[in-house]
Every structure is written in structure tokens, then in C-alpha cells.
Structure 1
Amino acid sequence: MAEEIEEIRRRKLEELRSRDTTGESDGAAPRSPSEPVPVEGAAELTETVSEHDVVLVDFHADWCGPCQMLEPVVETIAAETDATVATVDVDANQQLAAEYGVRGVPTLLVFADGQSVERLVGMQDETRLRSVIGEHT
């Protein structure tokens, strides 16, 4: 079962990465995906952060109530803003969470031009997330 889930995640990630990235050929950053991109490991996160101007990274866990409440907000941010949204399951990526100092979930990190610029811990409303992203776009 776990192998099947991992295969589905891998295929979905490939699908998201292979979508039309209008503007890529003229040197501009690829267009941000309209859905959150699941990230598995430090290399994928580094690649995502380096490929896009503004990235919101949602460190979450399936068992976390506030994380579940935040999920539709994160999906809306992905669909309606220029930010790329990446999601990291802290249970599956404990080393990555530790590397970024994630001690509680949900933790949201905002990267702009490859650098971490904001850290938000706990439930956040859509207005706050849009504001933080707007400061860096």
C-alpha cells in the first residue's frame, strides 16, 4: 500500500512538473502550478525553491487537525496567486522538517528568490497568507 501511494505521488509530481511552463524559454521563472506540489526530500525542495520566484512551503501531518483545516486555504493560494505552493509531510520527511527547524505543525515557510523570508507557525487565514506572499511578489 505504501509503495502504491509513493508511486502515485511520484507520478503526480512528474505531471505537475511537466505541465506547460509558459515563459520558461525567455528566461523567466516557470509559471507556478495551480495545485500544491508534494515534495519528498531536500533535493526536491531545493529544486522547487530555485525554479520559482515565490514559494510557500506547507509542513504538515495527516493527523494534525489545524493542518487539515489549512489544506483548503493552501489549495486556494496555489490556484489564485503567483506563488508556488509545496507541501511536505513531516512524518514522511522527518529529516527535512528537522533541517528547517520545524517543531510544530502546521509550519509555513515563504521563500523569495531562493531565500527563506517568512516563517508562520499554526493555523493561518487566507488573508494573512495572501498578504505575506504579496510582500514578496
Structure 2
Amino acid sequence: MSEPEIVADEPIHVDSVEHFKAVVDREGVVLVDFYADWCGPCKMLEPIVETLAAETDAVVAKVDIDEFQQLAGAYQVQSVPNVVFFADGEPKKRVVGMRGEDVLRSVIEDLSS
């Protein structure tokens, strides 16, 4: 039995390690925003990832590094914001620090083609 398809026009807040795996193991591009509530640049990035969730075919997931230190460690997240792009279940690209929408959108487009 296959997982139900995840269709989202807004970011998915990961609530468990199993949930994270179900989200990133899907076909297509998944943008994972590793963030922290205390991180100023993360707050500046939030409207950008919300726009990308609404306007692109990529699924956008948000992972709180304080709540999910195991996931942050597994993906070598040493500073935030830290965006990891998955394609077909595999991490393909990482963008660290505050970046503009155009940079993140171009990564999604590159991985989608």
C-alpha cells in the first residue's frame, strides 16, 4: 500500500521523525527548512518559503532544530536557516543562511527539470 500523495500549498510542520521521512521520501522536489524560533534570519525566510509552497510544485517542510535535534544532526545542520532540497527522497542541494526567493526558486526549478 502506497503513502497518500502529499499536496500542500503551505509549509508542512514536521511533527515526528517518521513524518519527516514520509514527506522527504516522496517523488519530486521537497524543500526542507531547518529553522529555530529564536533565529531572526529564519523569521525573515518564512514568508519566502510560504510563497514557494504556494507557487511551486515543491513540497515545503519545516523542521524545528530545537525540537528535532536528531534530524538536524543527521543532516549536518550546524547553523540556521539551513534549507536542504530533496529530489526523489535524496538530499541534493543545501542553501545556508538567508537567501532571496529567486535563489531558492531556481534550485527548485533545476531539480524539477
Q: TM-score, normalised by structure 2?
A: 0.91
Dislocated runs of 4+, deviation >6 Å: none
Q: Percent identity?
A: 52
Corresponding position: 1:78 with 2:53: yes
Report what 1:91 is aligned to. Answer: 66
2:92 to 117, 122, 125: 117
Unpaired stretches in structure 2, ≥5 consecutive residues: none
Q: CA deviation at 1:49?
A: 1.1
Encode CA deviations 1:80-104: one digit per residue, 9 max, x unaligned.
Answer: 0000000000111111111111000
Determine if the alignment matches structure 1 residue 61 to structure 2 residue 36.
Answer: yes
Give the alignment partner of residue 21 of structure 2, picking from 36, 42, 46: 46
Contact 2:45 2:98 (8 Å CA) reproduced: yes
* Residues 1:128 and 1:91: Cα distance change in structure 2 (over 3 Å): same
Deviation of 1:41 after TM superposition, in Å, equals 3.0
Question: 2:107 is matched with which residue?
Answer: 132
Question: Structure 1 stretches of 5 or more lacking a match?
Answer: 1-26
Higher strand fraction (1 or 2): 2
Greater relative contact order: 1 or 2 (C-alpha under 8 angstroms, separation 6 or more)? 2
Structure index of larger Rg: 1
Higher helix share: 1
